[in-house]
Structure formats: structure tokens, C-alpha cells
Chains A and B, each alone.
Chain A
Amino acid sequence: MGVDIRVENLNAWYGPVHTLHDVSLQIPANHATALIGPSGCGKSTFVRCLNRMHETSPGARADGTVLMGDIDIYKDATPVEIRRRVGMVFQRPNPFPTMSIYDNVASGLKLNGFRKKRVLDEVVERSLKQAALWDEVKDDLKKKSGASISGGQQQRLCIARALAVDPEVLLMDEPASALDPVSTAKIEDLIFKLKTQYTIVIVTHNMQQAARVAENTGFFLMGKLVEFAPTTKIFTNPSDKRTEDYITGRFG
């Protein structure tokens, strides 16, 4: 089950560059929340702060409060603990090239020392079914490399891999931007199904995509959260002039 996320005064830096300024928002559990904005506006940095991935870049740091349920992820837990509860799907499909499809899905459990084969089998099947990939790969689970399937299949494999560790939150950083329209539609269908069980945060360049999958949408501009509101309001009646300019295509 998903968990609420409350962010208060989050700031982030890459070395001396201040990329995120005092972002505060509340992301409700078991819903999809979209983040839109032009390139370089800080939306990717923002989601990477939600699983403490941001700080793995050289010279990067973040400051502020991020509450997942009642846990402050920057105070009460280690990055490794947080990342087990917060799954992430990246912009480009990144399956482990040397691992089979099965091992890719099982990697989160296996590499954390979990070895019970019967349970692993179950988790792999359940996760691949959740990611709508099971029927396409069930005959090649251990024969084919995770990198040998198509790009769209690889991205669903990455989603299955993230789901296998049973996270509460799923972060998706432009998960469909490298995919063709058919694969993109499949990913969106998935988000639609998954959001009843997980808190989903999706970064997207595609405003139609945000409108299709997300209940709430945040608009970022130059490292600041300009507006955060129900998606229908953002797209029909935004309160901020800059939001309106962006969604009507006047810049960005």
C-alpha cells in the first residue's frame, strides 16, 4: 500500500549551483502525481531527492524535510533503507545487461541476501504480471538477457524489477520518453492500474500524459514549484500566469 509524502522546504544543490528552491508539497497516497515543466526546471532533481538518489552525484546535496508516512527520510533512515521502500524507474530502460530476465526482476531481493527459491519464483511471476510483461517473456525467463528484449519491454521489466521489492512509492522519471507510442500507451495503462496500490510520482515532458494518468500535477520552473493543484485545474484554470503560459505552449 502506498504512503503519503509531505515535502517541506526542500532545497538541492549540484556543487555551488542551487537547483531546487524551497519546494513544499503534499503527495497523496495511492494516487498518481505528475510533475511537469521545461528541461532543467528541477523536476528530475526533485524526484531524485525523494529516494536520496540525488546525493549519489558528485558534489550534490539536499536539505529540507521529506516525510514518508511518519518517517523523515533525511533524518530517520539510511539511503539504502529508503530506496527499498521507494522504487524508481528511469528515463532510459536500464536492465542489468548480464542478468537474465528472471534475475533482473529478482535482483532487488537476491542482492539483498534473499534466497528462498520458491518465494523468488512467486515474486518474479507476480511482478512481471503486474508490469504486464509475463505473457511475453514467460518462456525465456532464464534464457534471455534483460537487455535482449525490446525497449518497451525493457522498461516494463524495469517496472517489474522495482515492484518486486514491494515498495510503497514508485518514482518514474520520464518513463516513456524513450519509447514509441504503443509502448508509451502500455506504460500509461500500467500507471493507471498501479496507482491504486502505490504512491506514484511521475516526471513527464508530455502534458497529455500528465493529464491522462495523474490526479494532481505540479508545475516546476527554474527550480521552484510554481503551482501544485488537481490536474484538471492545472490544465483548465491555472492560478499562475506562468503555468498558463507553459501549458498553452507559449514557452518551454
Chain B
Amino acid sequence: MDTLPLRSQGVSDFVSFRRSLTNHVVTGVAIISTILVLVPLVAIFGYLLYKGASSLNLAFFTHVPVPVGEPGGGMANAIAGSGVILGLASLLGIPVGIGAGVYLAEYARGTWLGAAVRFTADVLNGVPSIVMGLAAYALIVARQQHFSGMAGSVALAIMMVPTVTRTTEEMLATVPKSVREAALGLGIPKWRTVLSVSLRTASPGIITGCMLAFARVAGETAPLLFTAFGNQFWSFDLNQPIAALPLQIYVYALSPYDEWHRLAWAGALVLIVMIMASVTLVRIFANRGALKGGH
């Protein structure tokens, strides 16, 4: 393509230079910001690898903790316990969150109840996690008179709800009105339109929201302190105290023993890798059914 000389369009050399300079400056700022975002993640991950990788061995993943002074031992029960607590928290929190998001986006536009739910979700999002732990303690642990994995899951589930609710609502709002009308115009009832058309169209964003909520609570320690409590032995009984990786890291990191410190570093590394792996797996799984040229 022929390019016209800029001068003939009334653009002077100075203006042209200024525009090009602005362009470079803005691009540069964007690149620097990206690096600033990446540096902490890479630094933390690198430091964890440096401190934790050397303490990782098969026993870490297969053995339960041993008393101080004894060599070896691992965090197998804490890894499994975290899996159980997080799995149950997701089972409880994600459906409630998506349900509330659907209500806000599809049924409660402009109603006072919708505004109240939205406000509550935003406030809930800002409640410190330790307070969530205390709430679950008061609601469940104090009544049952004992700590339980179930109470920990409930605390984490409550923390997941606002994030899931608000992203679901926002993602549903991006589904074009024309797509909804297409479904209604075919004589498809509203509930079915919401389930099979609106939610499905918005699902990539909703899955991202669920993953954010999951990743956020996966590393939480405070809500588990008074609920799941921790356990030095194998236990899958949700009615009993259960070990969890963040709790185990917390206890080991606070201890005065070098061996436990090394295990805490290893635990932190395993925790971050597990979170990354589960988020990646869900993404791959969610993308598998996608069609050519959908978006």
C-alpha cells in the first residue's frame, strides 16, 4: 500500500515526532507494569523452590508428621485434608454463589432485594478471614462442642460465595440481550434459557471467578484455626479435626525446630503448586468442549 507523506495531511515533523514519542512512552509504561506484576510471583515462587525443594521427598507426600527429634515424616495427611476441606467448601460455596449471581443478573434487576444481596456480597467480600473463622466457630464448633473439618469447609465456603456471586452476575450481564431473546423467541422457558443459554454463554468467565475464589481460600489459615483445627494423624472424618496444609505450615513455621522450618517451606511450595495445578486443570477441562471459532 502506498503511504501518503504525512506532511500532505498537515502533520508537521514535530507533531509526528511527538506522537511517536508518546506511543513509545505508553508502550514502555505498559511493559514495565507487566514486569512489576510478574516480579513478586516469580520471586516468591523462586524463593519457595530454593528453600523448599530440598526438603521434598517421597516421604513428604506419603507420611504423616512425626514427633520432634525423629527424622523424616511428611504432610500427607495435611495435603489430603486440604483436598477434602477445599472440595467440600467448593461443593457448598460455588452452587450457592452461582445461584445468587443468577438471581441478581436474571431476576432481581432493579429490585430492593437485589440491591440488598449485592451490597451484602460486597461487604462479605471485605470481611477479614479471621472473622469468618470466628463466625464458623460460633455457629458450628461451639454448638457441636468439638472442632471439625466440616466447620472449616463452611467457613471457606462462605468466603467463596461473594466472589462467585459477583463474577457470575457480571459475566451474565455481558451475555447480549439478543442471545437471550433468540432463546425466548423459540418458546424456550425462562429458567431453561438461563441454564442452557445465558449461563453457558457466560461459562468461561464464571469458571474464572470460581477459580479465583478457590485460589483465594486455598491458602487461608485463619478461618481454619478455630474450625478444622489441624490433626497430626490421618483423618477423613469431617466431623473431627482435620489437618490442612496452611495450618500445618503455620504450626511448623512458628516452631523453634529447624527440621520443622524446612518442612514448612516444602509445604508452602507444595501448596502453591497444588493451587496452580488445580486452576490449570480446570482451565484445560473447561476448554476441551469448546468449538472452533466460538468467541
Contact = CB atoms under 8 A, between A and B. Distances in A.
Given A92-B178, A98-B200, A145 B185 contact: no
Interface stretch (B64-72, B127-135, B189-197): B189-197
A88 B185 contact: yes
B185 A162 contact: yes
B201 interface: yes
A148 B110 contact: no
Contacts of B197: 96, 111
Interface in B31-70: none
B181 A56 contact: yes
A148 B294 CA distance: 6
A156 interface: no
Interface string A74-94: 000001111111011010101
Contacts of A148: 291-294
Interface string A98-129: 11100000011001100000000000000000
Nearest to B182: A94
Nearest to A113: B192
A87 B181 CA distance: 12
B198 to A, nearest CB: 10
Interface in A50-75: 51, 53, 56, 58
Contacts, number: 94
A158 B291 CA distance: 18
B188 A94 contact: no
Interface string B271-295: 0000000000000000000011111
A107 B186 CA distance: 8
Interface in B111-127: none
Contacts of B201: 96-98
Contact of A145 (B109, B188, B203, B292): B292
A145 B182 contact: no
Nearest to B189: A80
Nearest to A81: B187
B182 A90 contact: yes
A96 B196 CA distance: 10
A115 to B, nearest CB: 13
Contact of A108 (B179, B181, B188, B203): B188
Interface of B: 109-110, 176, 178-179, 181-189, 192-193, 196-197, 200-201, 203, 291-295
23 contacts: A53-B181, A80-B187, A80-B188, A81-B187, A83-B184, A83-B186, A83-B187, A87-B185, A87-B186, A88-B185, A94-B182, A96-B201, A98-B291, A98-B294, A108-B188, A111-B188, A143-B292, A144-B292, A144-B293, A145-B292, A148-B291, A158-B182, A161-B182
Interface of A: 51, 53, 56, 58, 79-85, 87-88, 90, 92, 94-100, 107-108, 111-112, 143-145, 147-148, 158, 161-162, 165
Given A144-B291, A145-B293, A147-B293, 14 more contacts: A53-B181, A81-B187, A83-B187, A87-B186, A90-B185, A95-B182, A96-B179, A96-B197, A97-B294, A107-B188, A108-B188, A112-B188, A148-B291, A148-B294
